[in-house]
Amino acid sequence: MSNEIGAKPSSDGDVGPVRDEASKREGVKSSNELTVSLGEQRVVGVFFVPAPPGPTLPHSVQDTRRTDIVHVSTDDLTRTSHIRKALIEQISAAKQKVLFCSFLFADDEVVRALCDAAERLHGGVYVLTALGKHLRAEVLEPDADADANTAKLQGRAKRHEEHLQRLAHAGVWLRSAEDCHAKFCVVDDETAIVTSANATQEAYESNPEDGLILCEPRAAREYGRLFAHVWQHLATLESTPGARLDVHSLGARPVPSWRALVRTDDIRPLTTLRGDEASLLGAAVEVIDRARDHLTIATYSFMGMEAHAIGAALARAIARNVRIDLLVQPRDHIEAQRASLAWLVALAPDRVRIHGHRRTHTKSIAADGRVVLLWTGNLESKHGWDNGIEVGVIVEDAGVASAVAGWTGGVMRRATHVALHAPSARELVEAGLPSALFGEWTLRLAPGTSPAQTVNALSRNAVELLELPNTLVLRCADELLLDVRVNETSRTIEMLRVRPVQGLMGSRSKGWLAATFLRIVAPPAAQRAQDRAPQQQRHEGRRKNGRRR
Amino acid sequence: MRAPELKSVAVSLAEAGAPGLPTVVLAREAPILEVEFAGLEFAVEAKLPASDWAVLALARALGQMSPAEIDAYLGLGEVVSEGLARRLVGEGLLEEHSDAPVLVPPSAADSGIGGFFRRLFGSNAPPVETISSSVRPTTVARKLRESRASTFPLCHLSAGGIQALERGAVAQRRVRAARLIFIAEPLLFIGIVDEKRQKHTQHRRAKPLEPERVPEAFRVLDATFALPAEERAAACGIGECIRGFPGQFVGIDPGAQWEVRQLERRNNGRQEQQLALLIVAGFPSSDADGLHWRAYLRQQERTQDCPHLDAPQLLGQNLSGLANLLVALETDVQLPAPSALRGDGSFSLRCEGALLPSLLGEADSPEDTFLPALASSWGVGIRMHALPSSLEAACEAFYTFLHRREASLRRDFDGTCANLATSLITYWGQDPGLPSADQVASYLWRRPELRAALCMRRRHRDLVTPYEHGEVAP
């Protein structure tokens, strides 16, 4: 992988007006014209590219060798949902009550099972989910999938709403607690299922997800106690059972002090319960610290770990020569994740392997096949460790830990993406990503744009051409985004305006500028002055002349 | 008329002074008609001036007198005495004395002040002592002087003069245009149209009814109004006075005309006839008939007592007796026998589950209701005290009432069930064996709108009790 950053001077060799470090890699034809060669600039951090096609590995059911703890997962290859099947079996067998927590409800079969249970038990089915304003915040949050778009999110929200209607009508009591991302189900205080999967068809059929069925009444009761505490005291919205969904606020009420979850033998229920309990964080650090040889880690996202207690534990593990395999969803558009992954790889490039799966959503940490943490949050510093509501479980059992690690390893072997460390645009194209704007092009800057700063940004970053519904965008990392119009005939790129970084929702990559020679033309000085607003010109005049008092 | 409306009508009787809920209530709608009179005659009292009193008293003392005698006895002077005599004759307090009867056309007699007093006093007018010229009553009055004033006209006290003298006040005639509101059958005065509030409708008023459409009672209003006050009140509801007009009502100004219109109002963009509700209510009584009847009129949510209406007469013989009434009623329900009449004025009626809840009212607790029926032109309501004919019927009523207490069920399901059961058992005077709260919960699950209450009942059992020792009190 080359570290060389390509830029060549213009033919006359005149450095021109650009005086910063980057300007040394540029040439100037005239006072208004600069050139930049693109292709060798590097993407910051770890970047994922599609994995080369290989043999399709079948989904394998992992045996924990225990009857009281069963590993369940989604077989995304055959779209077989072991998680859903287990949930429905447990719910259908309920004799007293069902406690179900999932911020999304978009799966027909689970909803039907819950409705049937409520009808059969004449109530006794309690659900924590996203209602009302919580629904808007959670269900409609941007999806990491590059194909995410408004229609998909709205469709999911609509299904969620329809299912809530059905649940309410069937006699299910719905409540919603802000920032509750926990996903678990407790039946009769006898069985608990902790899973990474939300109650959606995608989670049960398409996404790599897994979970543990805990047929241990003391552990199940602890999860039941947690559910009851959130449902009774922390929920702020509800819809009581009735003819229709009727979401309303719950009044303020006293919250009893929380007593931390209690472990039972080798099962340790865990939670992040806002400020009241953070046993998940301690457990994650503990599991990592206990690793002597190998950590199998799965997370949907990996961000902000550099200065986090878990990051510190990972660094300690690497310092102990522990090998790390990390499964993560390849969300290249998020710089924070690229940076965090790069930090981890940099700790020990030969012992850290990153695997990308475009749909993975599973979350677990298994140490040496001896102990495993399975939880509902992610390796993100800002969410789920000391705020929000998440659940998890540590099982100190080789059979269970091996089952989880084995299944995660299987997903890693079926990885859809390969991680590259700081690849250049050319390397990305060579790895299979599309290229764009090949050859020589002229970039005409918009009035008011600084040619020096533009050249500087282009010279230092790998450049990608993005497509938005009404425009094309040249993206130089998050440093500079330009709305442009491309004229293939004249091979001219006309800059329209500078775009804020936040304005890329729904964008699609047209390709990387891997072999592009850009001639940058600034607008004539006179035009620049004319194009400025008279008000702006007056201000500049004042600046020159000093401020009058 | 539906049961709730009948109940509403029956309850409204209390505001009109009814002693309690009636046993039977009959109601029928009657069109409201407006009668516009060109002139109604009223008598307004004014204080009798001292000079007038003195002249009238002299006339009573002398039997007959002339201006010369007024001057001679009272010393008022020739001119004043003659003027007083003429004015008092003009005002009808004195009458000119004539040996020969004077033939006056009837119309002139009616329109004059004398006619006014005749209409005012009618047959109650005090007898006027006829004094012959040859016989004068003795008096201790002495002439002050001899007068040279005129000896004509020779006058004596009129009926009005006698009244004025006795009361120290004189009745003055006032004629006013008026718009009165009635129902026609029976003729009953309802009120007056407030002209001040109706000015904007002057140009929109309905056309007067053609003569052939004018109800019979309105064709003879002049005769009806001419009746003595007590008889007039019985005939049309107008007694001594008409509310809104000062003075004593005398009748229609002779010769004045009146027009009859239907009263209309706009409702949802359409003109519709205004109606009043004529109500005849039968209250429990110790009479052999078992009921005491009274009439009321309900208009615009106000009910007023109409004591001057003969309620039994309004009903007719077929309906005014309880036994006859029960036979004459048309209803879907088998009516109870007169012997089922309870002491509180309601009828005991045992019924099945399909009927029982509706006969226990629409409130939160059971109460007497009025069973709708028909009798000729009347809508009839009979007050029922409904009892369950079976356990199933009792349960049906129980569940129906529980359904109405959703908020209470949410707060305290078991307590609400117990309270309602007590309420029903008390009302029925018997315990038919109502279901327990658990049985109720199981049964009511089929009603989605009650599921919140049912789930709230079990929430404590599901989410509190199992974990109680794990929570620390706030």
Cα–Cα distance measured from residue A271 to residue A401, given in angstroms and rounded to the nearest whole number: 19
User: Does residue A530 have a pLDDT over 60?
Assistant: no
Backbone Cα Rg of chain B:
35
Chain-centre distance for alpha carbon A500: 21
Of B309, B317, B316, B333, the residue nearest B382 (C-alpha): B333
Task: State whether A122 and B454 contact (CB < 8 Å).
Answer: yes
Question: Which pLDDT score is estimated for B153?
Answer: 86
User: Does residue B288 have a pLDDT over 90?
Assistant: no
**Predicted confidence (pLDDT) per residue in A452-485, tens digit:** 889 999 999 999 999 988 889 999 988 899 999 9
Q: What percent of chain B has pLDDT over 90?
A: 36
Q: For residue B53, give both structure tokens.
A: 């009193």
Which of A104-118, A260-274, B113-127 is the least confident region? Answer: B113-127
Cα–Cα distance measured from residue B104 to residue B119, given in angstroms and rounded to the nearest whole number: 16
A-chain residues within 8 Å CB-CB of B467?
A: 221, 224-225, 228-229
Give the DSSP H or E segment for B80: helix B78-90
In the structure, what pLDDT confidence band is assigned to residue B203 with cuts at 50, 70 and 90? low
pTM greater than 0.80 (yes/no): no
Contact B12, B298 (CB under 8 A): yes
* Beta strands in A181-329, from DSSP E residues, in sequence order: 184-187, 191-195, 199-200, 210-214, 237-239, 248-249, 267-273, 277-278, 294-298, 302-303, 323-328
Helices (H) and strands (E) in chain B, counts: 20, 15
Task: State whether B448 and A169 contact (CB < 8 Å).
Answer: yes
Residue whose tokens read 């540590």: A394
User: Does residue A543 have a pLDDT over 60?
Assistant: no
User: Does residue A404 have a pLDDT over 90?
Assistant: yes
CA angle A130, A133, A136 (to 5 degrees): 75
User: Does residue A224 have a pLDDT over 50?
Assistant: yes
Put simply, whether B266 touches A (Cβ < 8 Å) is no
The mean predicted confidence, pLDDT, of chain A is 86
**Predicted confidence (pLDDT) per residue in B137-159, tens digit:** 667 778 888 888 888 889 998 88
Task: State whether B473 and A256 contact (CB < 8 Å).
Answer: yes
User: Does residue A17 have a pLDDT over 50?
Assistant: no
Nearest residue, CB atoms, B470 vs list A124, A173, A225: A225
In the structure, what pLDDT confidence band is assigned to residue B350 with cuts at 50, 70 and 90? very high
Could you give the ipTM of this predicted complex? 0.81
B-chain residues within 8 Å CB-CB of A169?
A: 448
What is the β-pairing status of strands A492-498 and A439-444?
A: parallel
**Predicted confidence (pLDDT) per residue in B354-377, tens digit:** 889 988 988 889 999 998 888 888
Question: Which pLDDT score is estimated for B108?
Answer: 46
Question: Which pLDDT score is estimated for B111?
Answer: 56
Of B12, B30, B33, B31, the residue nearest B21 (C-alpha): B12
**Predicted confidence (pLDDT) per residue in B320-333, tens digit:** 788 888 888 888 88
Put simply, whether A123 touches B (Cβ < 8 Å) is yes
Which one of B462, B464, B465, B472 makes the best mutation probe of the A interface by having the most chain A beta carbons within 10 Å?
Answer: B462
A103: how many CB neighbours lie within 10 A of its CB?
26
Of A193, A194, A197, the residue nearest A75 (C-alpha): A197
Question: Which pLDDT score is estimated for B99?
Answer: 61
Contact B283, B314 (CB under 8 A): no
Cα–Cα distance measured from residue A341 to residue A336, given in angstroms and rounded to the nearest whole number: 9
A23: how many CB neighbours lie within 10 A of its CB?
20
**Predicted confidence (pLDDT) per residue in A70-86, tens digit:** 999 988 888 888 999 99
Which one of B409, B454, B458, B467 makes the best mutation probe of the A interface by having the most chain A beta carbons within 10 Å?
Answer: B467
User: Does residue A64 have a pLDDT over 70?
Assistant: yes
Question: Which pLDDT score is estimated for B137?
Answer: 63
Q: For residue A156, give both structure tokens.
A: 């999911």
**Predicted confidence (pLDDT) per residue in B247-280, tens digit:** 889 999 888 899 999 888 878 888 888 899 999 9
Of A108, A160, A113, A101, the residue nearest A136 (C-alpha): A160
Task: State whether B455 and A124 contact (CB < 8 Å).
Answer: yes
Contact A87, A110 (CB under 8 A): yes
Of A355, A395, A358, the residue nearest A375 (C-alpha): A395
Which one of B439, B459, B463, B464 makes the best mutation probe of the A interface by having the most chain A beta carbons within 10 Å?
Answer: B463
Question: Which pLDDT score is estimated for A147?
Answer: 47
* Beta strands in B65-224, from DSSP E residues, in sequence order: 94-96, 155-157, 169-183, 188-192
With H, G, I as helix, E, B as strand and everything else as coil, classify residue B298: strand
Put simply, whether B439 touches A (Cβ < 8 Å) is no
Considering only residues A187 and A335, tell me which one the structure prediction assigns the higher pLDDT: A187
Chain A residue nearest residue B463, CA to CA? A228
In the structure, what pLDDT confidence band is assigned to residue A21 with cuts at 50, 70 and 90? very low
Q: For residue A507, give both structure tokens.
A: 């964008």
Question: Which pLDDT score is estimated for A541?
Answer: 41
